[in-house]
C-alpha cells in the first residue's frame, strides 16, 4: 500500500529559523510544527483520510518529549491531532531534535480474522483478475498488498461497495499515474471501515471519480466511485484490498471471501473471470 516518510530538523538557541510544515508532497499527509518559547509541538494533519496510523521516532538532545518515543498512534476518526511536544530540558544549553514519521492507511485491531462475505465491487457480470494475491508486479510478499486483487476493468467503470461500512478516506483530485513505485501514494481512492474494524481499499479511481464523502454510511452494492488509472498503475483497473494497520510502517492485507451469483471464491487466479 504505502510508504514511509521522514523529516529531520535541527534547532539551536538564539538562532532565528523559520519552522516549516513537513509535508509528504501531494499525499495530503503532513506534520505541522508549532513553535513555543520552550520547544515545539508536532501536529499530524490529513486532507483525505480520518482513519490512519502514525509511527513517530525521534532523537533528542537536551529536550524532553511529552510521551515516550518511539510510539504509534491511530487517527481514530481525526483529520488533525497532536502527536507530541518536545520541551527544552535546560534552557541555558544548546539543544536539537530530529524526528521521523511514518504513516499507513487504516487502524489497528486485536484480531486478524476476516470471516465476512464480500460482494463483487461492480455491477452484475463476470470480471477478470489482472493481478491476484502475491502477484509479482505489486502484490509480492512484503508489499503490504499480498492478498489484494486487481480487477481488469475499463476506466469509468462504476465501483460498488463490496461490504457495508463507513467511508473514512476519499481522494479523487490526483492526476498522477505511471509505473514508478514512488507514485503509490498518489492514487485516488475510497476507503471503507467495516463493523469488525477491518478496512477495504478501492484504489486507482479516476480523477473526480469519487461518488461518496468521508462520513457516509454505505450499503453493499452502493456506487462509491469510478475506476481509473491513478497512482502506481500500468493500465486502468481497480485495486481491491481488505486490510488493517500493523503500525505506521506496515499494513496487513487479509484474505477475503467473495460471494457472487456464480459461486463463492477465496482463490483468485490471474486471467480468470469470477
Cα–Cα distance, 130 to 138 (Å, whole number): 11
pLDDT tens digits for range 214-248: 999 999 999 999 999 999 999 999 999 999 999 99
Q: Find all residues with CB under 8 Å of 75, minimum gap 6, and list them.
A: 44, 46, 49, 50, 51, 52, 53, 54, 81, 107
Helix (H, G, I), strand (E, B) or coil at 177: strand
Same domain? 221 vs 150: yes
Cα–Cα distance, 11 to 163 (Å, whole number): 48
Which residue range forms the structural domain that includes residue 95?
Answer: 7-105
pLDDT, mean of residues 52-62: 98
The domain tally of the chain equals: 2
Of 105, 138, 166, the residue that ends a domain is: 105
Taking 70 as the threshold, does the pLDDT of residue 15 lie above it?
Answer: no
Same domain? 90 vs 190: no
Of 44, 78, 105, the residue that ends a domain is: 105
Instruction: Supply 149's cell numbers.
Output: 486483487
Cα–Cα distance, 18 to 196 (Å, whole number): 44
Does any domain span residue 243?
A: yes
Instruction: Supply 79's cell numbers.
Output: 483529520
Please give the model's pTM, rounded to 2 decimal places: 0.90
pLDDT tens digits for range 155-195: 999 999 999 999 999 999 999 999 999 999 999 999 999 99
Distance of CA 273 to the CA centre of its chain: 28
Does any domain span residue 110?
A: no
Instruction: Supply 250's cell numbers.
Output: 506496515
Instruction: Supply 208's cell numbers.
Output: 473526480
Cα–Cα distance, 92 to 6 (Å, whole number): 29
Helix (H, G, I), strand (E, B) or coil at 236: coil
Specify whether the backbone of 34 is left (phi greater than 0), alpha (psi in -120 to 50) or beta.
beta
Model confidence at 5, in pLDDT bands (50, 70, 90)? very low
Cα–Cα distance, 146 to 179 (Å, whole number): 18
Helix (H, G, I), strand (E, B) or coil at 154: coil
Judge contact between 198 and 243, C-beta under 8 A.
yes
Same domain? 165 vs 230: yes
Same domain? 199 vs 251: yes
Amino acid at each position: 500500500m504505502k510508504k514511509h516518510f521522514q523529516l529531520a530538523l535541527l534547532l539551536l538557541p538564539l538562532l532565528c529559523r523559520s519552522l516549516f510544515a513537513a509535508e509528504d508532497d501531494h499525499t495530503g499527509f503532513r506534520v505541522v510544527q508549532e513553535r513555543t518559547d520552550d520547544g515545539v509541538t508536532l501536529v499530524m494533519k490529513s486532507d483525505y483520510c480520518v482513519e490512519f496510523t502514525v509511527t513517530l521516532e525521534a532523537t533528542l538532545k537536551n529536550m524532553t518529549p511529552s510521551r515516550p518515543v518511539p510510539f504509534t498512534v491511530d487517527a481514530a476518526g481525526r483529520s488533525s491531532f497532536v502527536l507530541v511536544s518536545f520541551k527544552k530540558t535546560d534552557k541555558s544549553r544548546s539543544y536539537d531534535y530530529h524526528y521521523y514519521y511514518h504513516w499507513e492507511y487504516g487502524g489497528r485491531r486485536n484480531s486478524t480474522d476476516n470471516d465476512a462475505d464480500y460482494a463483487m465491487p461492480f455491477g452484475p457480470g463476470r470480471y477478470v483478475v489482472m493481478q491476484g494475491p502475491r502477484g509479482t508486479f505489486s502484490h509480492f510478499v512484503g508489499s503490504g498488498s499480498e492478498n489484494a486483487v486487481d480487477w481488469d476493468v475499463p476506466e469509468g467503470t462504476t465501483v460498488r461497495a463490496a461490504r457495508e461500512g463507513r467511508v473514512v478516506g476519499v481522494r479523487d483530485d490526483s492526476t498522477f499515474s505511471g509505473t514508478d513505485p514512488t507514485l503509490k501514494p498518489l492514487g485516488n481512492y475510497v476507503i471503507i471501515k467495516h463493523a469488525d474494524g477491518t478496512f477495504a481499499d478501492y484504489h486507482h479511481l479516476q480523477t473526480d471519480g469519487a461518488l461518496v464523502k468521508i462520513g457516509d454510511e454505505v450499503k453493499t452494492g452502493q456506487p462509491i466511485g469510478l475506476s481509473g488509472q491513478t497512482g502506481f498503475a500500468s493500465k486502468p483497473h481497480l485495486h481491491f484490498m481488505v486490510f488493517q494497520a500493523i503500525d505506521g510502517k506496515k499494513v496487513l492485507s487479509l484474505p477475503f471471501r467473495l460471494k457472487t451469483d456464480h459461486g463463492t471464491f477465496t482463490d483468485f487466479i490471474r486471467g480468470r473471470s469470477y
